[in-house]
Amino acid sequence: MTWAMHQLGELRRNRQGKLKRKCYKDDASREDVIQSRPDWADETEFIQLVDYWFHEDTRTLSSTNKRSRGKQKEIARSGPISFAQTADDMAKETGQAVERAVLFAKVYSTKEGHPVTPDVGEKIKQMTEILNRGSSLQGSRHEGILWSKDDTFAQVMGAERSGRVRGVGFRPTPSGRNGSNRSCYTLPPSSIETAHRMTELETSHQTLKDQLAQVEQRHQEQMADLHERHKAELTSAIAQSEAKHQMQMAEVMKTMGDMLRDLRPLISASQLQSQDNTASK
């Protein structure tokens, strides 16, 4: 539960940070920032957030943090992707958990594989030499980021200080139960079960996708078959209608012929009478 709350807090801070970068400018007034409120943001909450940004203590803290970040020699290139997510992606490729020295080389290098600074490059080189000598931790892919007090990372970067363990995100502390000299991992026990459950859900999701694709294929085949049958039935219906129409026309023509035959004697008699009348005159 604590781990989940940490993650929710991190997501909330990231969202606020993106909102500040979009709406808050150094030379903008409070009213200008309020006017830039996105449609999806609640007006009351957004105004409270803007007041917090413009508070003197907040501005002082922001300036201090900017100066501190400017002094950093090592800046990760993973962007918004957390170390835990990066490690999980690497574990999916290799089938086993990743220790923090390997993760360090990944997140502090460019996409082309070059270290972000010469100092980082030297540290990655030292870690790689130690790992090549067989000094690496082993674990399944569900065990998160592996670490120990005397692992490769610690041998190059130095011992841990009070607070969080470097390179593993939230949760572990040097004095906590994860700080023993054995192979350690960053996920709490409940999270291991959650990871297994997530794997099961991924498998189930893929199975459902396959089943859905099969159902869709069967539906398309049934629709094509129905279309062909409908086409054949329509053709047959048209032919039947045409034949019926021809029969009806033949019957009408026959009836008209019979009527003409019946009229001929009457027409002949009428013509003869007309001739007799003319002759008598």
Q: Looking at the predicted structure, is the pLDDT value of residue 269 above 70?
A: no
**Lowest mean per-residue pLDDT among 29-33, 107-111, 270-274:** 270-274
Domain edge (last residue) among 187, 217, 240: 187
* Close Cβ partners of 213 (under 8 Å, ≥ 6 residues apart): none
Kindly state whether residues 118 and 36 are assigned to the same domain. no
Q: Which residue has the tokens 């100092």?
A: 119
pLDDT score at 255: 81
Do the Cβ atoms of 90 and 106 come closer than 8 Å? yes
Same domain, 42 and 82: no
Model pTM score? 0.45
Q: Dihedral sign for Cα 81, 87, 88, 92, please.
A: positive
**98-140 per-position pLDDT tens digit:** 888 888 888 888 888 888 888 888 988 998 888 888 767 777 6
135 and 85 both lie in a single domain: yes
Task: Decide if pLDDT at 178 tops 70.
Answer: no
Q: What's the whole-number mean pLDDT along residues 160-169? A: 75
Q: How does residue 187 score in pLDDT terms, banded at 50, 70 and 90?
A: very low
Name the domain count of the chain. 2
Where a domain ends, among 72, 104, 125? Answer: 72
Residue with tokens 């893929």: 206
Domain that holds residue 88: 76-187
Closest CA to 143 of 106, 110, 95, 78: 95
Q: Is the pLDDT of residue 143 over 70?
A: no
Q: Tell me: do 13 and 52 sit in the same domain.
A: yes
152 vs 200, more confident: 152
CA distance 245 to 185: 85
Does residue 201 lie within any of the structural domains?
Answer: no
Average pLDDT of the chain? Answer: 77
